[in-house]
C-alpha cells in the first residue's frame, strides 16, 4: 500500500498530502544514491541563525548489521515488531548548545524541520518513511556514546513499501484506515488565542 492521500479541507501540494507514516516495509535495501538524496534534502532545511544543529546517524542493515541491531534494540517492543523488515533506521540528533556554549532553544524545532525535509524527499523518491518517538534515548546514548551536548530526539524508519497483509491484524487495520487530523479551525487562530481564523 503506497498511496494514502490526506483528506484535506483545502488543496495542498501532493508531496505533503501524499506523505504518510506506513508500517509495512519490504527488506529491499535503500540505494546509496537515495540515502544521500534524503540526507541532502535535510541538509537544506532552515534553522535559527543558520546554526544547522541537526546530525543524522544512519543505520543501514545491508552495510553494517551490527550497528543496525544496536539501534534496533533501542526501539520500544511495539516499534520493533513492525520494524522487523526495515532496511534503514536514521537517528535524528541535535546539538543542544550554540557555538557560544549557550542553550539553543530552537535546536529541536530546527532538527524537526530537517527531519520533515528528509521524509518529504523520501516520499518524492517513492520511499516510505516513518518518524518515531518510541525508543529509549538513554540506551541509544549509551550504545553510541553521544557527546554531552547532543540529544537524540527521534528515529526514522526508511525503506520500500511492503505488503500490508503481512502485518498483524491490528496494524493491518490501522494501515488501511483513513488518515485523520484535527480540523483547521481547532489549530489555527486569528489575531489572538482561540479567536476564529
- Give the pLDDT of residue 3: 86
- Give the pLDDT of residue 117: 99
Is the pLDDT confidence value at 2 over 90?
no
- 92 pLDDT tier (thresholds 50, 70, 90): very high
Q: Are strands 150-159 and 88-95 parallel, antiparallel or unpaired?
A: antiparallel
In a domain, 23, yes or no: yes
In a domain, 112, yes or no: yes
In a domain, 42, yes or no: yes
CA dist., res. 61 & res. 74, Å (int): 15
Is the pLDDT confidence value at 110 over 80?
yes
The whole domain housing 79 covers 14-168
Task: Note the pLDDT tens digit of each residue in 44-87.
Answer: 999 999 999 999 999 999 999 999 999 999 999 999 999 999 99
Burial 106-144 (b: 16+ CB within 10 A, else e): bbbebbbbbbbbbbbbbbeeebbbbbbeebebeebbeeb
In a domain, 173, yes or no: no
Is the pLDDT confidence value at 1 over 70?
no
In a domain, 3, yes or no: no
Is the pLDDT confidence value at 104 over 80?
yes
Residue 31 maps to which CATH number?
3.40.109.10
CA dist., res. 154 & res. 56, Å (int): 10
Q: Which residues pair with 57 in a beta bridge?
A: 91
In a domain, 99, yes or no: yes
Give how many domains the chain has, as a whole number: 1
Task: Note the pLDDT tens digit of each residue in 19-29.
Answer: 999 999 999 99
Task: Note the pLDDT tens digit of each residue in 113-157.
Answer: 999 999 999 999 999 999 999 999 999 999 999 999 999 999 999
Residue percentage of the chain with pLDDT more than 70: 99
In a domain, 85, yes or no: yes
In a domain, 1, yes or no: no
For the chain, the average pLDDT equals 97
CA dist., res. 89 & res. 124, Å (int): 18
On whether the pTM is more than 0.85, the answer is yes
User: CA-CA distances (angstroms) from residue 18 to 5, 14, 126, 146?
Assistant: 4, 5, 10, 34
Amino acid at each position: 500500500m503506497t498511496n494514502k492521500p490526506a483528506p484535506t479541507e483545502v488543496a495542498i501540494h501532493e508531496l505533503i498530502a501524499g506523505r504518510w507514516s506506513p508500517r509495512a516495509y519490504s527488506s529491499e535495501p535503500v540505494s546509496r544514491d537515495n540515502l544521500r538524496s534524503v540526507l541532502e534534502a535535510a541538509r537544506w532545511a532552515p534553522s535559527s541563525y543558520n546554526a544547522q544543529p541537526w546530525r543524522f546517524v544512519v543505520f543501514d542493515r545491508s552495510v553494517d548489521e551490527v550497528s543496525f541491531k544496536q539501534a534496533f534494540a533501542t526501539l520500544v517492543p511495539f516499534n520493533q515488531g513492525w520494524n522487523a523488515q526495515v532496511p534503514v533506521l536514521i537517528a535524528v540528533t541535535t546539538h543542544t548548545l550554540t557555538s557560544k556554549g549557550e542553550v539553543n532553544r530552537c535546536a529541536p524545532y530546527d532538527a524537526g524541520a530537517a527531519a520533515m525535509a528528509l521524509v518529504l524527499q523520501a516520499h518524492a523518491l517513492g520511499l516510505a518513511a516513518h518518524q518515531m518517538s518510541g525508543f529509549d534515548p538513554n540506551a541509544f546514548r549509551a550504545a553510541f556514546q553521544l557527546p554531552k551536548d547532543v540529544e537524540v530526539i527521534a528515529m526514522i524508519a526508511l525503506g520500500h513499501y511492503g505488503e500490508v497483509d503481512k502485518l498483524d491484524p491490528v496494524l493491518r487495520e490501522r494501515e488501511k484506515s483513513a488518515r485523520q487530523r484535527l480540523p483547521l479551525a481547532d489549530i489555527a487562530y486569528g489575531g489572538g488565542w482561540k479567536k476564529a481564523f
